[in-house]
Homo-oligomer: A and B are copies of this chain.
Amino acid sequence: MSRTRILVTGFEPFADESINPSEIVVRRLTGSLERGDVELVTAILPVSFRRAKDSVKTLLREHKPEIAMALGLAPGTPCIRVERVALNLMDARIPDNDGVKPEDEPIEPGAPTAYLATIPVKKIVRKLTEEGIPAVVSNTAGTYVCNLVFYELLHHGYTYGYPLRAGFIHLPYLPEQAAKKEPHSVPPSMSLELMIKAVKVVIEYVVSGDTTGQKPRLE
């Protein structure tokens, strides 16, 4: 039986944070998403414009996944954010983990200004909501390393035909991260268990979809 190869990525910690929920979710996913029809490849990406770009390209060439889902942290979001748009733009408010802080530079010079996610974002949000998981469609993944990874996944898919389906999920803080913030402005958070459930729901929804022979395109 043929198996669907899925790449799922998280990020290292960055800025003042000592943990990154996307890393923990990805590590916990290995082993917990056991399905005969799925081959899971996971990776933790550096929060570095240059190295994350290289890593994504290497991972895609090496594993040729049919589906790619990247996860990242969106400080302050109260719920799961399913990203709809990746921009060909790097514009950092704070330096990345290499100390690099690009301003208004394209990720891939000459490539399209933006790509739309090749997963059905609105149906996925509806599915998450039905499962009792707070979620929204988001129209901006920012202009930091999260957006770069999302853009690279889609650029590769639109250019080479794989991954056929690529998406980006922004996660809230974990409760233990929110607990460490200034007491007068505690941000929203979400439990690790619910994050893992959310990511599984998304992956299973995308896997179950009929993607045979589809070209990356607008949903």
A interface list, Cβ under 8 A from B: 78-79, 85, 87, 89, 91, 93, 103-104, 106, 112-116, 122, 125, 128-129, 131-137, 139-140, 142-143, 175-176, 178-181, 183-184, 186-191, 193-194, 218-219
> Looking at chain A's contact residues, is the secondary structure mostly helix, strand, loop, or mixed?
loop
| A89 surroundings in chain B (CB, below 8 A) | 116
Distance of A178 Cα from B87 Cα, bound (Å): 29
A179 with B128, Cβ < 8 A, contacts A78-B187, A79-B186, A93-B184 known: yes
Which of B103, B106, B122, B129 is the one whose CB lies under 8 Å from A179? B129
6 inter-chain pairs at a CB distance below 8 angstroms, sorted by A residue, are A78-B189, A79-B186, A93-B183, A103-B122, A132-B175, A140-B140
Pair A218/B106 contact, Cβ less than 8 Å: yes
Distance of A71 Cα from B143 Cα, bound (Å): 24
Q: How far is the CB of A155 from chain B (nearest CB, A)?
A: 12
Pair B104/A175 contact, Cβ less than 8 Å: no
Pair B179/A133 contact, Cβ less than 8 Å: yes
Pair A175/B219 contact, Cβ less than 8 Å: no
A139 with B136, Cβ < 8 A, contacts A187-B78, A193-B191, A193-B193 known: no
